[in-house]
Amino acid sequence: MSTATLIPHATHAPEQEWNLPSRGRVAMYCLIIGESAIFVIFVVAYIYYIGRSLTGPTPREVLDVPIFNTICLLSSSLTIWIAERSLERNKIRLFGAWWALTLVLGAIFLVGTGIEWHTLIYEKGLTISTNLFGTTFYSLVGLHASHVIFGLIGLSTVLIFTLLGKVREEHSERIQVLALYWHFVDAVWVVVFTVVYILGR
Amino acid sequence: MADRTFPIEGTLDLTPAHVHEHTWLEVLHEWVTTVDHKKLGIMYVLYGFFFLLVGGAEALAIRVQLAEPNNHFLSPEVYNRFFTMHGTTMVFLVGMTIIFGFANYLVPLMIGARDMAFPRLNAFSFWMTAFGGLMLYYSFLGGSGLYGVGNAPDVGWFAYAPLTARAFSPGNATDYWALALIVTGVGTVGTAINVIATALSMRCKGMTLMRMPLFVWLSVVTSGLTLVTITPLTAAQIMLVIDRYLGGHFFDTQAGGSAVIWMHFFWIFGHPEVYVLVLPAFAIANEIIPVFSRKAIFGYPAMVAASVGIAFVSLGVWAHHMFTIGMTSVSNAFFVLSTMLVGIPTGIKIFNWVATMWGGKIRFATPMLFLTAFVFQFLLAGLTGIMLAVAPWDWQLHNSYFVIAHFHYVLVGAILFAIFGGLYYWFPKATGRMLNETLGKWNFWLFFIGFHVTFDTMHFVGMLGMPRSIYTYEADRGWGHLNLIVSIGAFIQGISVLIFTTNLLWSAFRGKVAGNDPWDAWTLEWAAASPPPVYNFPTEPSVSSRRPLWDLKHPEDPDWKYE
Amino acid sequence: MDREWLRTILRTGTAILFFLLLPAFAFADGPQPVPSIFAPASTPASDIYSLSLFVLAITGGIFVVVGGLLAYVIVRYRDKGDDSDKREPAQIYGSTQIELAWTVIPILIVVVLFLTTARMIFAIQDAPKPPDALDVTVVGHQFWWEFRYPKLGIVTANELHVPLSTNKDPLPTYLKLYSADVDHSFWVPQLAGKTDLIPNHPNITWIEPKSTGLYLGQCAQFCGVEHAEMLLRVYVDTPEQFAAWVKNQQQPAVEDPQVAAGRQVFETESCMNCHTIRGTAATGRFGPDLTHLMSRSTIASGAVPNSEANLRQWIKDPDSFKPGCLMPAMQLTNQQLDEVTAYLETLK
Ligand code: HEA
Ligand code: HEA
Ligand code: CUA
Ligand SMILES: [Cu+2]
C-alpha cells in the first residue's frame, strides 16, 4: 500500500496551479507591521510631549536639521533597489557595487547621527535626562538608529558573502526580503524626520 | 478515484520502532535542542500549565487572605506582590503560552504541512518566552539584590505610572517586571510571525483560505493582532526602563510627564490583548463544537468575518478601561459606542455555535462539556462586559470586584474552560493515549461548580462596593460572608485542577490507546498518526473541502458539493 | 420602541435584579452601612442606579433568550445514546436570512443602549455648576486624604463633611481632585461614581446628597502598600450641623497650657515637619492637618477608631495599625508619648 494515498486527491477539481506567497516575504511584512506599532507609540509620545518640557533647552535652540544625513539615507533606498534589480538580472558585480554603496550611505547616516548626538551632549548640554524633550528625542532617534544598525549588520553580512562569491541569482528572493527591511528603515526616517525636525521645532 | 485506504484505526503506523533505548540525558538533549513544532507545542503547553499551578497557588493565597475581614495571613507587601504576579503570570505565562502551544502544535498539522515556516525561529521564540518567565520569577530572589530576597513586582499587572517610578518603587522588582515582559514579548512576536507565515505559505494543495479550518483562521487573526498589540507594550516598557535607568521623564509627573499616557499605552496593548487570549478559545470551540454535535460549523464565512471584525474593532476600544480618569464626555461616549460594537460580531459567534448544535446529535464527552460551559459562561461574561461599557455605570463598577468577576468569567470561564476542553480533545493526538473520562468528568464538574461559586459571588461583592487590589477590608462593610464563599469556590477549583494534573500524568503512561482518530473528526490532524511522526505526513496531502476527513468518510455526500 | 415595551422590559429587569441581588443582601452581614451601589443617596449615584436597572433589564433579556436557546439545544439535541441510528444528522452550512437577523437585532440593541448611555454621560459630566455650590479640594496622598474648603478657609483630612441638598434648597458639592504623589480614586458608592486623582491632571466630580448620615467609601485605584486602608468617610450634615462644624473648623487650635509639655514634644520631635496645627509653629504638609484632630472619629484615614489608646499606639508605632504607611515611628519615650497624646487629645 502506498502512503501517498493518505488523502485522496480531489477528483472533481482539475489540477490547478498551487501558488502560495513566499514565507520570507510574509514574515518580513509581519515584522514590519509589528515594528511600525513600536514606532507609532514612540512617535505619539514625542508629539504629545512637544512643548511640555518644564526646563530648557528647547528643540529650536539646539537642533539643526540634518539635511545631508537624510539625503544619504533616502538615496540608499534607491541604490539598494538598483542592487536588487542587478541581482535579478544576474549581474553579480554590479550588485556588489550598489550594495556596498548602500552600506556606505547607511554608515554615513549613522556617523552623522553620532556627531549630532555628540554635539548635543557635550556642547549644548542636552542629555536624555535633561528634560522631556531630551528624553523623547534620544529615545525616538535612538530607536531609529538602532534599526539602522541592525540593517547595516544585515547588509554587511550579505556584502561579505558577495565578496566571497557566494551570492547568486537564486538568492534574489532573500536579498529582496532584507532590502524590504531597509526600505522600512528609510520610510520610518521620513516620519521621524518630519516629527522631530519639522513639526517639533 | 484514487485509492481510498485511510489510516484511521492505526492501519498505518508511521512511527519508527524504537530500537535504541534513550537515556534520560539523550531525551533531555533531544527536547532542548528540538525545532519540531510538535515538541515545541507540547513544551509551551506544559510550561503554561506549570505556571497555571504557580499562579493558581498565588490565587489561593489571595483567597485565604480575603476569606475574612482583617485577616493577617499575608502581609500587605506580600499580598500586593501576589496579586501582581498572579495577574502577570496568568496573562503572559499561562494564557499566552498555552494558546501559542496549541497554535504551534496544530496549525501545521491542520494545513497539511510538515513544520512551521521557520522552525528555528520557533525554538528561539519558545526559549525567549521561557526565559522571560524565569526572569519574572527570579525577581523573588533578586528584586532588591540578594539582601532583599522575597521581593517581587507589586505595582499591579497594569503597572500604572507614576507608581512604577524609582521614587515610589525602589529596588529592582519593577525592572524585572518590565524586562521580563519585553523578553517574553520578543518570543511572542516571533511566534506570531511564524504562525502567519505558516498559514499563508505552507498550506497543502487545495487548501484555499476559505477552506482552512477555523482554528487556523483564528490563529492567523490572533497572531496578526499580537503583532500590533504586544509591540506597543514593549515600546511602553522600553520607555519605563529608560525612565528608571537613564533618568528619562516619559512618565515622570514631577518633570511634566504624564501618568495618563501610560494608561493609554498600556490599554492600547491591554485591551486587544484580552482578545488575543480569547480568540484562540473561540478557535478551540470552532473545532470541538461541530465534531461533538456531528454537524458542520454553521456560517463559516460569517465566523471568519466576525473574527476579523472583532480584531479590528478591538483596536479602538481601549479607553473603556479609563472611564474614570476624567476624559471629556465626547471621548467617553465614543468609547462606549466602539466597545458595545464588539458585542455584535461576538454575538454572531455565539449564535453560530448554538446553531451548530441545533439539530445535531450532541455527544457530551469531556471536551464538549467544557466547551458547552464555555459558551454559557462567555455569554454571561460578555453581558457583564456590556454593563461595564456603560460609562456611568462603570464609574461605579470600575476597579471593583465586579470587574474582577467580569474578567475571570472570560479568562477562566471561557479561556481556561476552552483550554481544558482542547487538552482533552487533542491529548490523544499528542500522546497516542486518551485522558481518562471518569477523572475528566470529575475535573469538569468540580471546576464548573467551583468556578460559579467563586466568580458568581464576586459580582455581588463588587456591587456592594468592594474595590480590587485591597489586601484586607473592614468588618463593618458587610463583605465577609460573601468573600468566604468566594474563597471556598477557589479551593474547589484547586481540587479540580489537582485532579486534572493527576489525569494528565496517569494517562500519559497508562491511558487507553487512542488510535489516529478517536473522536471521528474531520480535520487533517486526525489523518496523521497519533502521535504524529516528525514529518507529520509522509506525502503532502491534498484537500478539496473544509472537512477532508468528512469527504473521505462520506464519499456519497462530500462537503465540496456544497461549498 | 413604544412605551409599553419599555415598561415591560423595565419590569422584567427589576425582577431579575431582585432575584440576582437576593443572595447579596441575604449574606451581607447584618444591618451595617454597606456601601452598595444599589442604595444611592445622592444625585449622580441615583441617576446611575436607574440607568443600571435599564441596562440590567436589557442584558438580562438577552441572557434569558440566548441562554434559553442554549439550554434548549443541550436538552433537545443531546445524543440519546440509542445505537440504532448511526447516521449523521443533516448537515446545514448556514443561512443568510438567519445570520442577517442576528446581526441586525443586536445592532438595534446597541443603538438603544448607546443613546441612553450617552445621554447620561452628558447629563452627569456636563451638568452646569450652580453658583452657590460648595467647593472642596481633595488631594490624594499615599494612604490618606486631604480636604480643603478654599472659600471657607478650612483644611482637614480623611473625613469629609458636606451639607445636605434638598429639592427646595439644592446644594451640590463640587470636588476638585488632585494628587500629591501617585494615582488614587475617590469612591463613595452611595454618593457618586468614582473619579481618579492623578498627578498633573486635575479632575472634577460632584455629589448632591439627599439624606443625612455617614457614607463609607475608599480609594479605588491601587496606590501602593496601604491602598487597602485608604478609607473614606463622608458625613452628610443638616445645614445647622454643617454650619456648626464649619465654625469649629475655622478656629485655630485650642491652646491648653496644661498640655504644654505635649506641645513641646510635638514641636521638637519633628512631628511638625509633617503636620500642621494651625495657631502653632507646626506647618508641615506631608501628613494630615491635626488642628481639629479630635473632631474626627477615626485616625489613619479611617483605619483606626480615634481613642486615646489608639492614638498613643499610633504615634508609638504607626506600622502596628497600618504597616507600610508613610508616618515613621518616632521613637518617643513613654513619657513623651503620654504627653503628646494628652496634647493631641485637646485638639477639639
Ligand atoms: C479575554 C478576556 C476578555 C474579553 C473577551 C472581554 C470582553 C469584553 N469586555 Fe472585558 N476585561 C477583561 C477581559 C476581557 N474582556 C479584563 C482582563 C479586564 C480588566 C483589566 C484590568 O483592569 O485589570 C476587562 C475590563 C473590561 C472593562 C473595564 C472595566 C473597568 O476596569 O472599569 C470593560 C468596560 O467596558 C470591559 C468590557 C468588555 C466588553 C464589552 C467585552 C465584549 O467583547 C463582550 C462581547 C460579548 C457579548 C456582548 C456577549 C455575546 C453577544 C450577544 C449574545 C449579542 C447580543 C448582545 C448585545 C447586542 C449587547 N471589560
Ligand atoms: C488567565 C488568567 C487568570 C486566571 C486563570 C485566574 C484565576 C484565578 N484568579 Fe485571577 N487574576 C487575573 C487573571 C487570572 N486569574 C488577573 C489579570 C488579575 C488582575 C491582577 C491585578 O490586578 O494586577 C487577577 C486578579 C485576581 C484577584 C484580585 C486580586 C486583587 O485585586 O486584590 C483574585 C481574588 O480573588 C483572583 C482570584 C483568582 C482565582 C481564585 C482563580 C482560580 O480560577 C485559580 C484556579 C487554579 C488553581 C486554584 C490552581 C490550583 C493549583 C494547586 C492547588 C496546586 C498548587 C501547588 C503547587 C504549585 C505545587 N484573581
Ligand atoms: Cu490611594 Cu489607593
Ligand atoms: Cu478592555
Residue-wise pLDDT tens digits, C160-213:
999 999 888 899 999 999 999 999 999 999 999 999 999 999 999 999 999 999
- Residue among B197, B214, B185 nearest B96 (CA): B185
Q: Which of A6, A38, A45 sits opposite B539 (nearest CB)?
A: A6
Tell whether the model's pLDDT for residue C133 goes beyond 70.
yes
Neighbours of B351 (CB within 10 A): 24
- Answer whether residue A12 shows pLDDT above 60: no
Q: Is residue B439 over pLDDT 80?
A: yes
Q: Whose CA is nearest to atom 57 of ligand 2?
A: B53
- What are the pLDDT digits (tens) for A50-99? 988 988 888 888 898 999 999 999 999 999 999 999 998 989 999 999 99
CA distance A171 to chain B (A): 17
B562 pLDDT exceeds 90? Answer: no
Tell me how crowded residue B67 is: count the other CB atoms within 10 A of its CB: 18
Q: Mean per-residue pLDDT for C67-90?
A: 84
Question: Which of C22, C19, C23, C14 lies closest to C52, judged by CA?
Answer: C14
Ligand with minimal distance to B493 CA: 2
Query: Could you give the angle at the alpha carbon of B186 between the alpha carbons of B185 and B188, nearest 5°?
Result: 60
Under an 8 A CB cutoff, do B5 and A54 touch? Answer: no
Nearest-Cα residue of chain A relative to residue B538: A3
Q: How far is A87 from chain B (nearest CA, A)?
A: 24
pLDDT of B553 reads 86
Residues of chain A contacting B, Cβ within 8 Å: 1-13, 18, 20-23, 26-27, 30-31, 33-35, 37-38, 40-42, 45, 48-49, 52-54, 128-129, 131-132, 135-136, 139, 143
Q: Which of B503, B505, B453, B510 is nearest to B483 (CA)?
A: B453
C-beta separation of A147 from A179 below 8 A:
no
What pLDDT is recorded for position B404? 97
Quick one: DSSP state of residue C294? G
Tally A–B CB contacts below 8 A: 158
Residues 6+ apart with CB under 8 A from C143: C223, C224, C225, C226, C227, C229, C230, C301, C322, C325, C326
Residues with CB under 6 A from ligand 1: B 158, 274, 277-278, 320-321, 339, 342-343, 346-347, 350, 379, 382-383, 385-386, 388-389, 394, 398-399, 403, 406-407, 410-411, 415; C 62, 66, 106, 109-110
Backbone angles phi, psi at A149, to 5 degrees: -60, -45
What residues contact C103, with CB distance under 8 A and at least 6 apart?
A: B344, B347, B348
Q: What ranges make up the beta strands (E) of chain C? A: 134-141, 144-149, 154-157, 159-163, 173-179, 184-186, 195-197, 203-207, 213-218, 231-237, 298-299, 304-305
Residue type, A35: E
State the CATH number of the domain containing residue C272.
2.60.40.420
The minimum-distance atom of ligand 2 relative to the CA of B156 is 23
C43/A1: higher pLDDT? C43
Q: What is the pTM of this model?
A: 0.94
Q: Is the peptide bond before C163 cis (omega within 30 degrees of 0)?
A: no
Q: Let me know if residue C338 belongs to a domain.
A: yes
Q: At what angle do helices B37-66 and B119-142 cross, to 10 degrees?
A: 30
Give the span between the Cα atoms of B42 and C314, in whole angstroms: 55
Q: Is residue B533 part of a domain?
A: yes
Ordered by start, the domain boundaries in chain A are 23-199
Chain B residue nearest residue A36, CA to CA: B228
Q: How confident is the model at residue A6 (pLDDT cuts 50, 70, 90)?
A: very low
Asked if the structure places residue C196 within a domain, the reply is no
Q: Does the C-beta of C141 come closer than 6 Å to ligand 3?
A: no
Instruction: Identify which ligand lies nearest to the alpha carbon of C187.
Output: 3
pLDDT reported for residue A118 = 95
**Residue B133 resides in a domain:** yes
Could B227 and A18 be called an inter-chain contact, meaning their C-beta atoms sit closer than 8 Å?
no
> Across chain A, where does the E strand assignment appear?
none
Which of C3-7, C13-17, C83-87 holds the top average pLDDT?
C83-87
The count of domains in chain B is 1
Q: CA angle, C9 as apex, C5 and C13 as ends, to 5°?
A: 170
Asked if the model's pLDDT at residue B171 lies above 90, the reply is no
What are the strands of the beta sheet with C154-157, ordered from one edge? C154-157, C144-149, C134-141, C173-179, C203-207
Pairing relationship of beta strands C154-157 and C173-179 according to DSSP bridges? unpaired
Q: Which of A193, A127, A52, A108 is nearest to B251 (CA)?
A: A52
Put simply, whether C110 touches B (Cβ < 8 Å) is yes
Residue A176: predicted pLDDT: 93
Range of the domain at B60: 26-562
In a domain, C315, yes or no: yes
Q: Scanning the structure block, which residue is given the C-alpha cell 508641615?
A: C284
- Expressed as residue numbers, the domain containing C325 is 257-344
Give mean pLDDT, residues C128-147. Answer: 94
Residue B466 corresponds to which cell in the numbers above?
468592594
Q: What is the pLDDT of residues C270-280, one digit of tens each?
A: 899 999 999 89
Q: How far apart are CA C294 and CA C307, in angstroms?
A: 9
CATH topology of domain A23-199: Four Helix Bundle (Hemerythrin (Met), subunit A) (1.20.120)
Q: Is C335 contained in some domain?
A: yes
Task: Give pLDDT, residue C84.
Answer: 64
User: Which residue of chain B has the CA closest to A10?
Assistant: B544
CA angle A31, A36, A42 (to 5 degrees): 135
Domain count, chain C: 1
B146/B73: higher pLDDT? B73
Backbone angles phi, psi at A119, to 5 degrees: -60, -45
Is C239 within a domain?
Answer: no
Q: Indicate the pLDDT class of residue B172, thresholds 50, 70 and 90.
A: confident
The answer as to whether B414 is a domain residue is: yes
> What is the secondary structure of B434-491 as a DSSP string?
PPPHHHHHHHHHHHHHHHHHHHHHHHHHHHTT-BSS-S---GGGS-HHHHHHHHHHHH
Q: What is the pLDDT of residues B449-501, one digit of tens each?
A: 999 999 999 999 999 999 999 999 998 888 989 999 999 999 999 999 999 99
Least confident interval from A5-9, B60-64, C4-8, C290-294: A5-9
Q: What's the pLDDT score for residue C29?
A: 42
Terminal C-alpha separation, chain C: 60
Q: Is the pLDDT at B309 greater than 80, yes or no?
A: yes
What letter represents residue B413's amino acid? G
* The pLDDT of residue C90 is above 80: yes
- Reading the block at residue C318, the C-alpha cell is 504607626
Residue with the bigger pLDDT between A7 and B41: it is B41
Q: A41 vs B232: CB contact, 8 Å cut-off?
A: yes
Q: What is the pLDDT of residue B560?
A: 78
Q: What value does the mean pLDDT of chain A take?
A: 89
Instruction: Write down the pLDDT at residue A4.
Output: 36
pLDDT value at position C158?
94
List chain B residues with CB under 8 Å of C117: 333, 336, 389-392
Report yes or no on B19 lying in a domain.
Answer: no
**CATH code of the domain covering residue B177:** 1.20.210.10
Pick the more confident residue, B345 or C92: B345
Q: How confident is the model at residue B544 (pLDDT cuts 50, 70, 90)?
A: confident
DSSP state of C207: E
Q: What residues form DSSP beta bridges with B433?
A: B513
- Asked if the structure places residue B252 within a domain, the reply is yes
Residue C32 pLDDT exceeds 80: no
Query: pLDDT tens-digit profile of C325-341?
Result: 999 998 899 999 999 99
* Residue C26 pLDDT grade (very low, low, confident, very high; cuts 50, 70, 90): very low
pLDDT band at C85 (very low <50, low <70, confident <90, very high): low
pLDDT in tens, A14-60: 456 788 889 999 999 999 999 999 999 999 999 999 988 988 888 88
